[in-house]
A and B are shown apart, each in its own frame.
Chain A
Amino acid sequence: MATNIRLEGEAGGLALPLRRDAVGWQDRPILLRLISIALFAAIWEIAGLIPVSFAFPTFSDTLVAFFGLLADGSLPSAYLSTLQPLVVGVVLSAFLGVGIGTICGLSRTGEWLIVPVFIVLQSAPVAAFIPLVTFVYGIGMTAKVLAVMILALPVIVLNTYKAVRNVNGSLLSMCRSFLGTRWQSISKIILPDASPVIFAGLRLGVAAGFVGVVLAELLITPTGIGDVITFHRSRADYAEMYATIASIIALSTLTLVFLQWVEVRVFRPEKRGR
């Protein structure tokens, strides 16, 4: 095992130098990303100083407010309550979505029965269903989880379905000719082959899940992050409000980056370092 990892690293190292020489500064993407973030912060600061709106704080004010919210414990406790329905909803959506999408991609019946529902759900302004969910399931955890899933599930199902549908036919007949079982062809060919598109769907789904949970907290019950936002808006603490909003955007971004890392690491090792 250990030798394997070392050898893979070597193979990557052999392939890369050529590209590195040719591209130069691009081999430090982290530096570039930091510059991009710094640029964004600078523009924000200037926009806040002009100011574009009396309700628009500067970047530095927002940063100060952020640490204030961290220190007084209101942000951590808000996240604790927001993350529960979010994580449950996203994890359920991921597994259900990939499962349902795979079934739809593999079977004609599943395709005709299920796919239209999700196409409608994806094109409908599903946020409008959230009050309906409250009406049926009350204001508890279930309602919030459902709000996350309503937004996250369709895109995951549809991407998985499309990816499985368009799986490389030649790899499938290769698997069959080497005596692969149906299950082996799903786990060893179809899912890895479909994984880039499935993961694109998962990233969109996770982003939509964040939207769902914030909407639920704004529309259903003021709890968690939604509560912090509403509270500070009502007191016109715009820096605190923006700090909260920015923090959830940052968290969502970090989750997506993590997802990408998992994809490359686990499913498509050949894309590492490309």
Chain B
Amino acid sequence: MGATALRNKPAPVSAPNDAIVEVRGICKTYGNVEALRGVDLDFPRGKLTSLLGPSGCGKTTLLKIIAGLIEADAGTVTIDGKPVKGPGPERAFVFQDFALMPWATVLRNVAFGLELRRRARAEREEIARRYIAQVGLAGFEDKYPHELSGGMRQRVGLARALSVDAEVLLLDEPFSAVDEQNRRKFQEDLIRLRTQENKTFIFVTHSIEEAVYISDRIVLLSPRPGRVSRIIEPEIDRSGDPDRIHRDKHYLDTVEEIWQGLKQYVE
């Protein structure tokens, strides 16, 4: 696994303009609700960027426009310079409501992206087994979703997205249906996965703590209409003990700073 990571990464000395996803002038209106207005954003390669903002500020809408699942009214999204016209192989989505097929086993669910790409059964199952193990679900390959807890189901969704080997992972509040203990565990796993897999993560959340804990970059969105209000780069050292980070002064300050910025929208 380490070898893959090394091969994929031709040592980009994180130049600030090395953006894999570029969002330019995106506008989206549903009926008379203006969900997004003139959103410009760059998502740096190999980083985890969070979209953070109060409910209804257009986070899901923006993520689905990047995924190619919703069409914008104006503006463009490019991935590596190529404009997005619909879903593509370089992006994979992790759904807020898991979106697992109840009639399929964990193994088939995880391998489903490869099944749709008509990969041979043995090959796709081998890849799926590897990612199932990586998200900590080894031994559950032949279970059905209704036999799993919410946290385990979300891991299946994550393994499915990882197994198609997309460069950009789009996660829509992946932990919102998961209890607090599992959430912590899951966040730590995500940090570990991110260092292993060297992929670009775009992560929607409405938890400030979560955003600060896991992100390289936090995009604050303001509501009605949704626009970018601020961009914050927490620069937290995550190498040490996770519990230490939660007590880290810089971590707490950043959380407080963001809360002060967002407070005005919550009233």
> Which residues of chain A have a CB within 8 Å of any CB of chain B?
4, 7-8, 10-11, 15, 170-171, 173-181, 184, 188-189, 192-193, 195, 267-270
A10 is contacted by which of B88, B116, B142, B144 (Cβ under 8 Å)?
B142
Q: Which of A4, A7, A15, A178 has the most CB of B within 10 A?
A: A178
Task: Please report the C-alpha to C-alpha distance between residue A171 and residue B144 in the assembled complex, in whole angstroms.
Answer: 16
B146 is contacted by which of A178, A179, A270 (Cβ under 8 Å)?
A270
The stretch that binds A, out of B17-25, B93-101, B178-186, B258-266, is: B93-101
**A-contact 0/1 string along B139-167, CB 8 Å cutoff:** 00111111100000000000010001000
Instruction: Output the least CB separation between A231 and chain B (Å).
Output: 48
Is the Cβ of A11 less than 8 Å from the Cβ of B97?
no
Residue of B nearest to A274 (CB): B146
- Is B56 interfacial (CB 8 A cutoff)? no
- Is B30 interfacial (CB 8 A cutoff)? no
Chain A residues with CB under 8 A of B146? 270
Given A174-B95, A270-B144, output 18 extra A-B contacts at Cβ < 8 Å.
A4-B142, A7-B142, A10-B142, A11-B147, A170-B99, A173-B95, A175-B116, A177-B93, A178-B117, A178-B164, A179-B88, A179-B113, A179-B116, A188-B112, A189-B101, A192-B103, A270-B102, A270-B146
Chain B residues with CB under 8 A of A188? 112, 115-116
- Is B87 interfacial (CB 8 A cutoff)? yes
Q: List 12 A-B contacts (CB under 8 A).
A: A7-B142, A170-B97, A171-B101, A173-B99, A178-B87, A178-B160, A179-B88, A179-B89, A179-B113, A184-B116, A188-B112, A270-B144
Is the Cβ of B92 less than 8 Å from the Cβ of A177?
yes
Is the Cβ of A8 less than 8 Å from the Cβ of B87?
no
Task: Please report the C-alpha to C-alpha distance between residue A170 and residue B95 in the assembled complex, in whole angstroms.
Answer: 8
5 nearest interchain CB pairs?
Answer: A174-B99, A270-B144, A178-B113, A177-B93, A11-B142
Instruction: Output the least CB separation between B108 and chain A (Å).
Output: 10
- Is B69 interfacial (CB 8 A cutoff)? yes
Is the Cβ of B142 less than 8 Å from the Cβ of A177?
no
- Is B218 interfacial (CB 8 A cutoff)? no
Quick one: which of B73-121 are within 8 Å of A by CB? 87-89, 91-93, 95, 97, 99, 101-103, 105, 112-113, 115-117
Is the Cβ of A180 less than 8 Å from the Cβ of B116?
yes
Instruction: Output the least CB separation between B64 and chain A (Å).
Output: 8
